[in-house]
Amino acid sequence: MKIIVISGLSGAGKSTALKILEDAGYYCVDNIPLSLVEQVIPIYHEHHYDKIAIGVDARTSHLIGHLPKALKQIQSQYIDIKLLYLDATNECLINRFSETRRKHPLSNEKYTIEESIEYERELLANLRLLSHPIDTSHLSANALRSMVKQFVGASFNQMNIIIQSFGFKYGQPIDSDFVFDVRCLPNPHYNKEIKEFNGTQQPIIDFLSKEPKVIKMRDDIYKMVSGWFEEFSHDNRNYLTIGIGCTGGKHRSVFLTEQIAQLIKESFDYNVIIRHRQMLIKEYT
């Protein structure tokens, strides 16, 4: 039996993620009373539902503190349970509520939307620590669909390592465990002959491969993160996310993401997932 628990901030995309899983054949239940979570899963199992997705959020805030314990209990009985946490920046969430003119579920006459978002973050903090986070701040629905499918298909028998490139000018991702800034490296953007290519294409690869500082940065990042893989794995982490950022997220960060991912694949048995945030957004817009 496969169980996906989707949580996260209001407005971050939980409803979209549940629809994606429903299309993938999951039986989806949204905002189930948390006190019933442990009770309903055996019922679904008894009636031969083999793939279940459960959406939980802060609307049942007075019970949210009991959820981590309930999930551990479920995990001891049903091995294949995965937790996904959808996150976004305050600015992005405020804009989404403004555009849809919807009320934040925790807002009232005492709290602004931003104060309600911060309160929700606090309520869900422990749940986020147990989950794999995805920052949806700059993602389209199709880009989110791709990431959710990656998440569902990943093996949880070992730690999954996500390496993602991004552009600092579009905002720093909030779902990374490590973030490396490579904007100090030579920038192909200023070479008119190759600036339209990206870091997965040969002209950029040739340009950056010849730069000693780029190779040193690659080796230093790899040495730093790989030295901690075992510790994170022993901490029962299912996902470790490494963010590598340059200015636009097209050249240097993409090249280094590909290079470091290859080094990890050659030396470790972890499942490695590559994401290029700015290229992914462009692909679906």
Please tell me whether residues 165 and 132 are part of one structural domain.
no
Tokens of 4: 């996906």
Domain, as residue range, for 120 = 2-153
Q: What is the pLDDT of residue 241?
A: 93
In the predicted structure, residue 283 carries a pLDDT above the cut 60 = no
Q: What is the pLDDT of residue 285?
A: 32
Q: What is the DSSP letter of 113?
A: H
* Domain edge (last residue) among 153, 176, 203: 153
Q: Which residues of 41-70 are buried (b: 16+ CB within 10 A; e: fewer)?
A: beebeeeeeebbbbbbbbeeeebbeebeeb
Please tell me whether residues 10 and 128 are part of one structural domain.
yes
Please tell me whether residues 118 and 36 are part of one structural domain.
yes
Q: What is the domain count for the chain?
A: 2
Q: Mind listing the pLDDT tens digit for each residue in 161-214?
A: 999 999 999 988 888 999 999 999 999 999 999 999 999 999 999 999 999 999
Tokens of 219: 């080796």
Please tell me whether residues 65 and 114 are part of one structural domain.
yes
Please tell me whether residues 26 and 136 are part of one structural domain.
yes
Radius of gyration of the chain (CA): 20
Tell me the torsion sign for CA atoms 183, 279, 140, 272.
Answer: negative
What residue spans of the chain are helical by DSSP H? 14-23, 37-46, 67-77, 90-100, 113-130, 141-153, 202-209, 212-226, 229-234, 252-267, 277-283
Please tell me whether residues 149 and 202 are part of one structural domain.
no
Q: In what order do the strands lie in the sheet with 27-30?
A: 27-30, 51-55, 2-8, 81-87, 132-135
Question: Domain containing 42 — which CATH number?
Answer: 3.40.50.300
